[in-house]
Amino acid sequence: MSKSFIFPGQASQYVGMAADLYEKYDLAKEYFDKANHIMDLDLKKICFSGPEEDLKQTYITQPAIYVHSVIIAELLKQKNIYPVAVAGHSLGEYCALVAANVLDFENGLALVRERSRLMYEAGQKNPGTMAAIIGLSSEDVDSICDSLKGKGVIQPANYNSPGQIVVSGQKHVVLLAIEKAREAGARMATELVVSGAFHSPLMLEAQDGLAKALNNTEFKDADIPVYTNVTSKAVTKAEELRSLLLKQLSSPVLWQDIMTNMIADNYDDFIEAGPGNVLKGLLKRTDRNASCEPCGTVEQLESLGE
């Protein structure tokens, strides 16, 4: 059976994530044991038991979602369910690269560990925030950001689906954007609980460290198309995938365009591999005819292919 795999990003985590997988599958035990060693902390304990405050820390959240998602992708392959194309939302792009055999599990996790640490530190040095705006067009949100450029750093960070866009930047400017969005008729405009202004120039502080880690990691050409956050287009070449991961730090995530492009290329039968079902919701707002099955638990995994 062939499906397109899509992988969630930060905010899909929850206390108890992957615990059922660990109990049932040797592969999950093996990967969590490797993860604890690579992370040099008990990631398994935090995923399974919390506390939630620890799990919500960027440098824990990203590795937790990565490990959960990659385990699911590998277990799907064991069930003879293989991806024909992949994409991942922000952090999820690293999982997509493992599924496409660009990175192996260990190298991918080492990169995610470094990325999450560097992003957290960049957020501490250059404080910022993000806000979700629902009910305005991308053009409207672009216009709001452009009108505030003179006030400080702000830009769209995630074009998630029609009418759902996240902006990122310095807090005082993001709060002004929330006001302007409400005045423009947004159904909702609210600040998100994040540790930094992800996918904005405030993350450039992390660029040198991530570049060094990426350059020291072996990348292979992808076996299948990888639709990337920065371009929304299919990429297979190792060096291009490496350079796009670096650009991704401070560039918007073009998720709506990724979904539109994959569907146009006849990749319209998706599995959301990892915790939660955020991407399924975004897809339904982008194209109601596309199919997406969330797969993050033993029950969901076992129901696939039946």
Q: Which of the pair, 2 or 26, is modelled with greater confidence? A: 26
Same fold: 2-124+201-303 with 128-191: no
Q: Give the mean pLDDT of 242-260.
A: 97
pTM listed for this prediction:
0.97
Grade residue 108 by pLDDT with cuts at 50, 70 and 90. Answer: very high
The dotted CATH code for 128-191 is 3.30.70.250
Which CATH homologous superfamily contains domain 2-124+201-303? Answer: Malonyl-Coenzyme A Acyl Carrier Protein, domain 2 (3.40.366.10)
Whether pLDDT at 2 is above 90: no
Closest-CA residue to 133 (of 149, 155, 107)? 155
Grade residue 172 by pLDDT with cuts at 50, 70 and 90. Answer: very high
Rounded to 5 degrees, φ, ψ at 199 are: 55, 45
Domain ranges, ordered by start, for the chain: 2-124+201-303, 128-191
**Averaged pLDDT of the chain:** 96
Q: Which of the pair, 195 or 83, is modelled with greater confidence? A: 83
pLDDT for 306 equals 55
Buried b / exposed e along 276-304 (16+ C-beta atoms within 10 A)? bbbbbbbbeebbeebebebbbbbebbeee
pLDDT for 133 equals 98
Give catalytic residue positions: 90, 199
pLDDT for 195 equals 87
